[in-house]
Structure 1
Amino acid sequence: MSAELETVAHPDKESLAAESAERVLDVVVAAQDERGEASVVLTGGSMGTAVLAAVAASPRRDEVDWSRVDVWWSDERFVAGDSAERNCVQAAEAVDGALVLNPDRVHCMGSADDFGTAEDAAFDYRRELAAAADAEHRAAAFPRFDLALLGLGPDGHVASLFPGRPHVHEDDATVLGVQDSPKPPPVRVTMTLPMINSARRVWFLVAGADKAGAVAAVRAGAPLERTPGAGVRGTEETLLLVTDDCLPG
């Protein structure tokens, strides 16, 4: 079962980041109350990093035992490990040491320093996901995700799943190498839609009038071929957290 899409509007980027951060904290606290730990899938982009910065700055951050939070990424640029283009580097800069995470629970995708190809990095991430699933005694090839955060490109892409590319139609919940991203850098690693959609909650974080067309396409359920984001659904909740200028006047 998947959750229907719900749109929540905010007047500006600042309120979107602040309110989304409080939502994130609510989910993580609830997950730890339920089973002692939590697992989140992060995204890159300006809003993704703004929300992380707001989480780190929140006076409620100490409600969470950050050492018992698993952090994953839905996609990554296959570039040097210290490149500012990498989502995990941007995330680390956003929290600036304010969240005391267990390094063994921070699951960055492999970089071009670590692997010869994006396919090799994807294979390694699949292996890491499987090991986490085994530790949870799950039959699936990946662990439980309490929350997945996603951006949305003006073209309707999510993670590194772009319109017109075959990865959008992948049926398996897996991680793939991408060689031909139309947005630089062209080589990336990405989760597929079935893996993203395994998360209990999936939230888009979208700001700016340039995203209005993509937001409208997602809300209308446009074909995946044209708008990959239209295929996103969490198992319990799917939220489109947007600024007002993303919506019709």
Structure 2
Amino acid sequence: MHTPSAPILYSFADPNNLVDSLARFIIKAQKESIEKKGRFTIAISGGSLAQQLNGLIGKPGVKWEKWQVFYADERVVPLDHEDSNHRLCNDELLSKVPIPRQNIHTIDYSLADDIEELADAYEKELIREFAQKDAARFPVFDLILLGVGPDGHTASLFPGHELLSEEDRWVAYITDSPKPPPKRVTLTFPVINHAARVAFVVYGPSKVDIIKTVLDKPEQGLPPSRVRPISPGQVYWFTDADASAKVEYPRTPFKL
């Protein structure tokens, strides 16, 4: 087993610089992935993260037709519901760029009455994209974008929840989410930790204490601290000055 690399922390005084730098980072990851294997696989979480992706709109060098978009987690609600991660990402980004609709992989809400079947169906979406092409035990996403909740959850992996110990499934379900809506599906740690890159995007003063705990006290085992992609994978943190104000963890100047 390869030893995980230490996280890289970027902190931006200007929120606009964070958005622009994140866009440049994503485009570079996309370019390297397409050159290597002809496609770019990305998983996106919900919450406020989607709002930070609009820096991609109109940027040169984005090959939308090569993107395969999945969701790191999703709330089990209709896709046009205000709680849907897909709706948020669609409103903020996907509806504004020429990405083929068939390259956007959503949950099948028609299966909502049987959440286990719904999770299995979404796992099969991943299998169609990854297992047939990469022959890997777990999918290797080119990039997974995650946020962090004030309670320390990421994707729909909550502190103290039994899903934190899931080792086999690619997609798991939760029916007792500590924050509404209660029914969700989520990528598991084995999937997240096999990614080539994982980037947390966190901003605002409401996150200042939880980010300090995650980065300065990883031994507490909060879910984001458990995101340590196996080598050569790498985890990055894109934060603003408010979110990282109390963090003692060393910052790295952003450059590509």
| Structure 2 length-normalised TM | 0.88
Q: Contact 1:172/1:195 (CA < 8 Å) preserved in 2?
A: no
* C-alpha displacement of 1:215: 0.8
1:170 to 2:171 alignment: no
Q: CA–CA distance in 1 between the matches of 2:42 and 2:155?
A: 14
Q: Contact 1:148/1:202 (CA < 8 Å) preserved in 2?
A: yes
Q: 1:193-208 alignment to 2 at 5 Å?
A: 193-208=189-204
Q: CA–CA distance in 2 between the matches of 1:196 and 1:134?
A: 16
2:116 aligned to 71, 95, 119, which one?
A: 119
2:105 aligned to 100, 104, 107, which one?
A: 107
1:229 to 2:224 alignment: yes
What is the CA deviation profile of residues 92-133 of structure 1, one whole-angstrom value per residue up to 9, with x for unaligned ones? 11125332222222111232x443132221110111111222
One-letter code aligned to 1:83? H
One-letter code aligned to 2:52? V
One-letter code aligned to 1:230? S
TM-aligned CA distance change 1:57 to 1:137, over 3 Å: closer
Q: CA–CA distance in 2 between the matches of 1:114 and 1:89?
A: 18
1:211 to 2:212 alignment: no
Task: Tell me the SS of whatever aligns to 2:219.
Answer: coil
Q: Cα RMSD between the aligned structures? A: 1.7
TM-aligned CA distance change 1:146 to 1:168, over 3 Å: same
TM-aligned CA distance change 1:54 to 1:182, over 3 Å: same
* C-alpha displacement of 1:222: 3.5
What is the CA deviation profile of residues 212-239 of structure 1, one whole-angstrom value per residue up to 9, with x for unaligned ones? 1211121121333xx1111012342111
Q: CA–CA distance in 1 between the matches of 2:92 and 2:27?
A: 16
Q: Contact 1:17/1:50 (CA < 8 Å) preserved in 2?
A: no
One-letter code aligned to 1:128? E
Gaps of 5+ in 2: 247-256
1:183 to 2:185 alignment: no
Matched pairs, number:
241
TM-aligned CA distance change 1:223 to 1:244, over 3 Å: same
Q: CA–CA distance in 2 between the matches of 1:35 and 1:158?
A: 28
Task: Tell me the SS of whatever aligns to 2:185.
Answer: strand
One-letter code aligned to 2:135? R
The list of structure 1 runs, each at least 4 consecutive aligned residues, that deviate by more than 4 angstroms after superposition, is none
* C-alpha displacement of 1:64: 2.7
Q: 1:74-89 alignment to 2 at 5 Å?
A: 74-89=72-87
Gaps of 5+ in 1: none
Match of 1:55 in 2: 56
